[in-house]
Amino acid sequence: MRTYLVTGGAGFIGSNYIHYMFEKYGEDIRIINVDALTYAGNLENLKEVENRENYTFVRADICDKEALRKLFTENEIHRVVHFAAESHVDRSIRDPEVFVRTNVLGTLVLLNCAKEAWEQADGSYLPDRRFLHVSTDEVYGSLEEEGTFFYETTPYDPHSPYSASKASSDMLVKAYMDTYHFPANITNCSNNYGPYQFPEKLIPLMINNALQGKKLPVYGDGKNVRDWLYVRDHVKAIDMVQEKGRLFETYNIGGHNEKQNIEIIHIILETLQDMLPKEDPRRKLVSKELITYVEDRKGHDRRYAIAPDKIRAEIGWEPETMFQEGIRLTIQWYFEHGDWMKRVTSGEYQKYYADFYKV
Ligand code: NAD
Ligand code: TYD
């Protein structure tokens, strides 16, 4: 039985990955989820799996060498899937330090612990060991012209402290592959959306605000473009890269679904109107009048767009969920998890929101 060490499994993509993996492999795998439970980590995301015999949660910081080393010595780990990170660009602009600590130092600590556990006396590695570093398309910088795309060969050009820290962590993984022949892959994915996404990010923030008749803050002219991928398609790709990808390779993952932010907001408003039952009082609150243009994000990247040609050709992965379907699934999930939203938006979130959006 293979054991997976998942970092950041209590966050948005990590929890979707854990659900996907148990649905796919059932009792055939074991997952150890290590997460520090920052503001973004939420064990409620994993309620359905917490009692499984083949699932263990360990609260630890990935920068804590001793805690991680202990996990590797006490367990035979075959796969590492590394999600844990500080992930929000706006927070990185205000407080870059924690991004460097977790994203760069934390990745280094994890690499060292895996290397120490997997490397043999002759410098080769135990068989069937793989480390997957989950990264972002933001490391490639910003595209201006329509029709241009990020490829695996696109030079890194990060602009925000978040993307700079992710780029640095990618470079460390590359260095371990090149220097030590460490068995790893890197995936660079475009913007995700779907269940369990923390409402500091565009899509859940707009859904949550619209349902309460709160302003919808659009940065700048609202024409920045992101390439949106339904999270389940991403986690499926991660599993496929670990099973079928060539070691030491980077794979770009994207939805071929470019949309301007303002288009996304209009789609959300229309879909909410369509999905809310006639008698639901929130129908009256959901309105285009809520759209409010606010000061632009500093250093705001204009456009991201992934060319997922390599992963399609080599691994056979393609996005399966069209945006119209994915956004309905997402909204339906938020309808059914109103309590989840209430809990994650109480306390610290209120303070963050009031402070950041000056309301
Ligand atoms: P998230 O912010 O929702 O979750 C991050 C998780 O990491 C949380 O559970 C948090 O508690 C945990 N964590 C943070 N610091 C930690 C530390 N020091 N030690 C242990 N755990 C810690 O993030 P997400 O959106 O799920 O993103 C997961 C990964 O995917 C990140 O590496 C991110 O860069 C990458 N990524 C995200 C997107 C996206 O659209 N969200 C797109 C591409 C790549
Ligand atoms: P976000 O979800 O933070 O992802 P990223 O910056 O990593 O791509 O933001 C997506 C886009 O939405 C980005 O162009 C910034 C914009 N945005 C707003 O216009 N208003 C908001 O309140 C937020 C959170 C984002």
- SS3 letters across 289-329: HHEEEECCCCCCCCECCECCHHHHHHHCCCCCCCHHHHHHH
Give me the mean pLDDT over the 252-273 stretch. Answer: 97
Rounded to the nearest whole angstrom, what is the distance from the C-alpha of residue 79 to the centroid of ligand 2? 32
Q: What is the 3-state secondary structure (H, E, C) of 45-92?
A: HHHHHCCCCCEEEEECCCCCHHHHHHHHHHCCCCEEEECCCCCCHHHH
Question: Could you tell me if residue 220 is inside a domain?
Answer: no
| Per-residue pLDDT at 145 | 78
* Ligand 1 lining (C-beta closer than 6 Å): 7-8, 10-14, 35-38, 40-41, 61-63, 83-87, 102, 106, 134, 136, 166, 189, 191-192, 198
- Amino acid type, 217: P
> Is the confidence at residue 162, as pLDDT, over 90?
yes
CA separation for the pair 258, 153 (Å, rounded): 20
Backbone angles phi, psi at 127, to 5 degrees: -65, 155
Number of domains in the chain: 1
Element spanning 202, H or E: helix 202-211
Helix axes 65-74, 107-118, angle to 10 degrees: 30
pLDDT tens-digit series, residues 120-136: 999 999 999 999 999 99
Q: Quick check: is 144 catalytic?
A: no
pLDDT band at 224 (very low <50, low <70, confident <90, very high): very high
Give me the mean pLDDT over the 247-252 stretch. Answer: 98
Question: Could you tell me if residue 330 is inside a domain?
Answer: no
Separation in Å, CA 283 to CA 51, 158, 187, 275: 38, 41, 40, 9
Question: Could you tell me if residue 143 is inside a domain?
Answer: yes
Separation in Å, CA 9 to CA 74, 95, 179, 190, 217: 20, 23, 29, 19, 29
Question: Could you tell me if residue 224 is inside a domain?
Answer: no
CA separation for the pair 195, 231 (Å, rounded): 8
| Active-site position among 138, 200, 227, 239 | 138
| Per-residue pLDDT at 255 | 83
Any ligand 2 atom below 6 A from CB of 191: yes
Question: Could you tell me if residue 198 is inside a domain?
Answer: no
Question: Could you tell me if residue 274 is inside a domain?
Answer: no
**Distant-in-sequence, close-in-space partners of 7: CB < 8 Å, separation ≥ 6:** 14, 33, 34, 35, 62, 80, 81, 82, 83, 84, 106, 110
Return the DSSP state at 26: G
| Burial (Cβ within 10 Å: 0-12, 13-18, ≥19) of residue 247 | middle
Q: Mutation test of ligand 1: which of 15, 38, 89, 108 has the most ligand atoms closer than 8 Å to its C-beta?
A: 38
Backbone angles phi, psi at 307, to 5 degrees: -100, 105
| Per-residue pLDDT at 38 | 97
pLDDT tens-digit series, residues 287-345: 999 999 999 999 999 999 999 999 999 999 999 999 999 999 999 999 999 999 999 99
Question: Could you tell me if residue 217 is inside a domain?
Answer: no
Q: Quick check: is 230 catalytic?
A: no
Any ligand 2 atom below 6 A from CB of 201: yes
| Per-residue pLDDT at 246 | 98
Any ligand 2 atom below 6 A from CB of 89: yes
Q: What residue's CA is closest to ligand 2, atom 25?
A: 202
The model's pTM is 0.98
Strands 258-260 and 225-227: antiparallel
Any ligand 2 atom below 6 A from CB of 217: yes
| Active-site position among 162, 176, 196, 230 | 162
CA separation for the pair 33, 42 (Å, rounded): 12
Question: Could you tell me if residue 212 is inside a domain?
Answer: no
Q: Quick check: is 97 catalytic?
A: no
CA separation for the pair 153, 81 (Å, rounded): 23
pLDDT band at 359 (very low <50, low <70, confident <90, very high): confident
pLDDT tens-digit series, residues 32-64: 999 999 999 999 999 999 999 999 999 999 999
Share of residues in the chain with pLDDT > 90 (%)? 97
Angle at 109 between CA 108 and CA 114, to 5 degrees: 100
Rounded to the nearest whole angstrom, what is the distance from the C-alpha of residue 82 to the centroid of ligand 1? 9
pLDDT band at 146 (very low <50, low <70, confident <90, very high): confident
Domain span holding position 84: 2-193+229-255+303-322+348-357
Backbone angles phi, psi at 43, to 5 degrees: -70, -15
CB 225 within 8 A of CB 263: no
Q: What residue's CA is closest to ligand 1, atom 33?
A: 87
We report the CATH number of the domain holding residue 115 as 3.40.50.720
| Burial (Cβ within 10 Å: 0-12, 13-18, ≥19) of residue 123 | exposed
